[in-house]
Structure 1
Amino acid sequence: MGFTSQSGEKNNPVVRAESELSLEVVILIVFGVFMLLFGLLLFRIQTGELPYAPDSTYGLFLVIVSFQVITMGKTPFGDLRRSWAVIVLGVCTAIVGMVACFIPGLLAEPVRILVGILLSAGGVALLVQLFFSEDKARVWLKVPGALQHLTVACGLVYVVSIVLGIITLLPGITTDTVTAVFLVIYGIGFFYLSWSIQKVGRLYPPGEAE
């Protein structure tokens, strides 16, 4: 069931192709843009050419994460049933992120630690699920093409997430230049992951017999 304009947009292949992007893919693209832009700007920030408020960056990250949690039940630690408890958790995370954005300095340490835990512990949890779940990498790697790309993309994003989480939890453990490089790789990894998910979604539509 759908709505169609008199101009016949429903049968327009261009319009149909545009609508094929799932919400998950769109959010991953947003993550990719965020991380890539952050990484590129960090090269200028470290020289003092650009102003920088870490709290605002961490806060924006939490807002994007909370949007993913609220809309799809996808958390940094894995997928959960989209219950009221999950939605409330997502809203609370969004509030913390917004406060950090609006009032830099108020939640500096708590927000930094929270983001570091989400990145590092979440990356470990997702990496373990990827390779030890019976319906993920063990199956995907046996099928040439899109599913193998999905496995590589997931592994790349999860590993870099762990590294960035450790860097966030332990400030000064590395240089800003190295951090910027990892952020750029992270952003590219999200683009690769979004492409892989989109490709897999087209080849193996939900509900279709395997």
Structure 2
Amino acid sequence: MLTRSAPRWRKPADVPLEIVILWVAALGAAITGVLLVPISQGVLSYYEDGLYGLVLFVFALQAVLLGVTPFGDVRRSPTLIAAGTVIAAAGIVNCFVPDLLGEAPRLLLVVCFGLGGATQLLCLFLGGRFRLWWRGSRELRRLALACVVVYSLAVLVALILLLRQAVAVAAVAVAAVAVTVLTYGVALFVLAGQLWAVDRAFPQQAQARAGDAGGLVTDHTLMLLTGIFLVLLGVLLVPVNLGVLPFSGSAQLGLLMVIFAVEMLASGSTPVGVFPRTWLMIVVGLVFAALGIVSTVIPYVLVPTLTVLIGLLNIVGGVLTLVRNVAPLFTKRDEESPTAPRPPVLIRLFMAQLAMGLLSIAFGAAMLLPGLIPGLVLGLVLAANGGVLLYMLHLLLVVDRQRDASAAPA
């Protein structure tokens, strides 16, 4: 009997995490390049701090998830993860509160793009990698060329950031900037494709590089960044509601969508549960990323749509979390030993998951029904949501250590 193979969109997507993050960065650059033309003509408004904060957040993602920095690849360590977390926090704050950090984010990006791109370019040639790759296979030669283009364009982007005021007053210069940023995005897509081709051509090296990550695993790192996002959002909402600070709700929704997108692309994790990492999930993740990028850069335009979408996702995810944790209480816990005590850490994890479900429902309801929860209280709810998520991360690390200790030979 013949069986039909599953359609491509339902097949597992074995895409390396490095490629996923590059896709998000490339999508951000390409969308920004396209939007700069109507922005320069006054057709669309522009939130510069949102763009800078988003780029800083993507740089931080590469550092904490992959050990990839603007100046080269390093082994992930607690120090690198801490530094990347600080940069991610700076990007989050810069998205949320306009002008709070002044010129610091722009100057930091100048260093990352300019000095980082120039350093990578010099290391590529002076370190001998370009010559080695050029003498190698077709995939390595294409990778060498893609790296040269990306690093050179990064230096050009840094120059644009330095000359921001001069560029803003010239229509021709704005068009040149749009083309440069769009080209940089396309170059990042090409670089991602060549890296993936090299990984397929040399799977042993790809596995060795992935196995040398060190530090937190991907899911735990994303939990850390999401928890920090929610804590910072909740804390900042207090002075915002008191009228002390301005606030960009559009960038808040956009950055949250980007976080959702990275979780989907990296592991198939969504606000309503974990699904197989198929090509359909990859496409949905890229759509989420695109919506988040637009909302971060262009204020207000997607706020109504994203408010409803994120509100519904949080409510459904919270309800499913409660169902998954409460339902087992009404079933036989352990057929062999129904009275066996649960380890204390699992009890605390169970309670944290229940709290997370309730807080997610409260947050989603507040988004769908403005005024249901006062602004100051909503800030506390979000901060508590982030705090519980960080506490869950701590408990999961404790469970992992206990499992490793029990599995170790005596």
Taking structure 1 as the reference length, the TM-score comes to 0.88
Please list, as runs of the form range in 1=range in 2, the aligned pairs for 1:1-210 lying within 5 A after superposition. 14=8, 18-134=12-128, 136-174=129-167, 175-207=173-205
TM-fit CA distance, 1:17: 6.9
CA contact (8 A) 2:49 2:94 kept: yes
Q: Give the residue type in structure 2 aligned to 1:192.
A: V
Q: CA deviation at 1:107?
A: 1.6
Q: What is the distance in 2 between the residues matched to 1:182 and 1:62?
A: 19
Please, what is the CA RMSD of the aligned residues?
Answer: 1.9
SS of equivalent residue, structure 2 residue 76 = coil
Q: 1:56 to 1:149 in 2, by over 3 A?
A: same
Unpaired segments ≥5 residues, structure 2: 168-172, 207-410
* Cα displacement (A) at 1:110: 0.7
Contact 1:132 1:138 in 2 (8 A): no
SS in 2 for 1:20: coil
CA contact (8 A) 2:199 2:205 kept: no
State the alpha-carbon separation in 1 of the partners of residues 27 and 106 from structure 2.
21
- Going from structure 1 to structure 2, the CA distance change for 1:40 and 1:74 (only over 3 Å counts) comes to same
Query: Which sections of structure 1, spanning at least 5 residues, go unmatched?
Result: 1-10
C-alpha distance in 2, partners of 1:171/1:177? 13
Taking structure 2 as the reference length, the TM-score comes to 0.46
- In structure 2, how many angstroms separate the alpha carbons of the residues matched to 1:46 and 1:111? 22
Count of paired positions: 197
Residues 78 and 126, structure 1, Cα contact 8 Å, conserved in 2: yes
Listed one character per residue, the Cα deviations across residues 179-206 of structure 1 (whole Å, up to 9, x for unaligned) are 1110010000001000000001001113
- Return the alpha-carbon distance in structure 1 between the equivalents of residues 159 and 83 of structure 2: 24
Greater Cα radius of gyration, structure 1 or 2: 2
- CA offsets 1:125-183 (integer angstroms, 9 cap, x no match): 1111111223x211110124111110111110000000101111222344221111100
Distance 2:7 2:73 in 1: 32
* Residues 146 and 199, structure 1, Cα contact 8 Å, conserved in 2: yes
SS at match of 2:43: coil
Aligned residue for 1:106, secondary structure, equals coil
The higher-RCO structure (CA 8 Å, 6+ apart) is 1
Q: Distance in 2 between matches of 1:156 and 1:30?
A: 18
